[in-house]
């Protein structure tokens, strides 16, 4: 991992307009996210549940020792077989400022998104996919951390992609019922969760792991070469320094970032300075339509 002597980028990154029409910088939401990940870390340590910063949060950890400066969310991974334990831990130990949603605790939860949403109560955010993947749970729409289950998957890439098609084939019908007719897609949810469990158990000893196969749009945003990773890249989770705090991420962090985002995603040392390769026009917050950083009020 690179040492924390890279350039601190003070360029302002727009978070978009809040419910009052005021623009904010992404760095205004990141202290809330830090507070949330520290609370999740406390709960997981108390209950001996391994967790890991994943995806963009893992890349931020590697490149910056903290957040990607323009990132407006956090991603966390846990092992699929630890899901029941995390449900109980969050029920018993999560602080009063926070709430959580998951299918295992609330059947209204949308199973085509990450396995858990952990939210900060005193806030509000409307996601870009709010209309097609609405939140039917009753714990509010606060700023959130996504927690996704990782599981064993086939070592053959074609077979892995084939498994993903199961959820993709159900997504349109699921969304039409849920978003447009407001009919609880109980049948599809039940099928997807049973399928998830079947795959997890069938490939529990696989040398290849990835996020749960029931998230249908994993490879839609861009054609990624790697949707799965060698088990020893992911496990065991390892402790790192994140903005002065001890937080867990994947075992081989650099290798994960290369496999997930490509070698060009990593900062490079040039003339004694760390250089971020991402063009300025792509350094944007990307998850919300509108928000409120100070309360759960949804509109003026």
Residue 2 has pLDDT above 70, yes or no: no
Percent of the chain at pLDDT above 70? 92
* CATH of the domain spanning 14-152+221-285, picked from 1.10.8, 3.30.460, 3.40.50, 1.10.287: 3.30.460
Question: pLDDT digit string (tens) for 23-50?
Answer: 999 999 999 999 999 999 999 999 999 9
Identify the pLDDT of residue 3. Answer: 42
Question: pLDDT digit string (tens) for 164-203?
Answer: 999 999 999 999 999 999 999 999 999 999 999 999 999 9
Calculate mean pLDDT across residues 103-132. 93
pLDDT band at 292 (very low <50, low <70, confident <90, very high): very high
Identify the pLDDT of residue 248. Answer: 98
Strand residues in 18-135 grouped as ranges (E):
23-25, 52-53, 74-79, 98-102, 116-120, 124-127
Residue 94: name the closest of 147, 32, 41, 149 by CA: 41
Return all residues near 259 (Cβ < 8 A) that are at least 6 apart. 226, 229, 233
Calculate mean pLDDT across residues 198-214. 98
pLDDT band at 220 (very low <50, low <70, confident <90, very high): low
- Total Cβ atoms within 10 A of residue 76: 27
Residue 24: HSE in the Cβ half-sphere, 13 Å Cα cutoff: 19
Paired tokens of 164: 């993903």
Please report where in the chains the tokens 């650099």 appear, as a residue: 254
pTM of the model: 0.93
CA-based Rg of the chain, rounded to a whole angstrom? 19
Domain spans, the chain: 14-152+221-285
Mean of the per-residue pLDDT values of the chain: 91
Calculate mean pLDDT across residues 222-230. 82
Return all residues near 110 (Cβ < 8 A) that are at least 6 apart. 133, 134, 135, 136, 178
Calculate mean pLDDT across residues 60-67. 93
Q: Give the helix/strand (H/E) hosting 147.
A: strand 143-152
Paired tokens of 234: 């992911």
Percent of the chain at pLDDT above 90? 76
Calculate mean pLDDT across residues 247-275. 86
């Amino acid at each position: 991992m690179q040492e924390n002597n890279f350039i601190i980028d003070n360029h302002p990154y727009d978070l978009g307009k809040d419910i009052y029409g005021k623009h904010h910088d992404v760095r205004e939401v990141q202290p809330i996210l830090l507070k949330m990940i520290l609370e999740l870390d406390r709960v997981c340590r108390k209950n001996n549940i391994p967790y890991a910063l994943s995806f963009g949060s893992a890349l931020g950890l590697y490149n910056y020792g903290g957040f990607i400066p323009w990132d407006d969310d956090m991603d966390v991974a846990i092992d699929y077989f630890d899901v029941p334990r995390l449900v109980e831990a969050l029920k018993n130990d999560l602080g009063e400022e926070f709430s959580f949603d998951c299918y295992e605790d609330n059947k209204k939860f949308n199973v085509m998104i990450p396995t858990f949403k952990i939210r900060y109560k005193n806030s509000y955010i409307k996601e870009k996919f709010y209309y097609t993947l609405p939140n039917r749970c009753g714990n509010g729409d606060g700023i959130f951390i996504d927690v996704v289950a990782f599981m064993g998957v086939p070592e053959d890439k074609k077979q892995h992609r084939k498994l993903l098609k199961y959820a993709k084939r159900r997504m349109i019908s699921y969304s039409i019922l849920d978003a447009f007719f407001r009919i609880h897609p109980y049948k599809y949810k039940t099928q997807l969760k049973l399928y998830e469990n079947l795959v997890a158990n069938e490939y529990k000893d696989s040398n290849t792991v990835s996020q749960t196969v029931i998230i249908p749009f994993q490879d839609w945003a861009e054609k990624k070469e790697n949707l799965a990773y060698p088990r020893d890249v992911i496990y065991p989770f390892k402790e790192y320094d994140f903005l002065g705090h001890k937080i867990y991420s994947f075992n081989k962090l650099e290798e994960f970032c290369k496999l997930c985002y490509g070698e060009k995603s990593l900062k490079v040392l040039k003339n004694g300075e760390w250089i971020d390769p991402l063009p300025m026009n792509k350094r944007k917050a990307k998850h919300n339509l509108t928000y409120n950083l100070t309360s759960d009020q949804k509109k003026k």
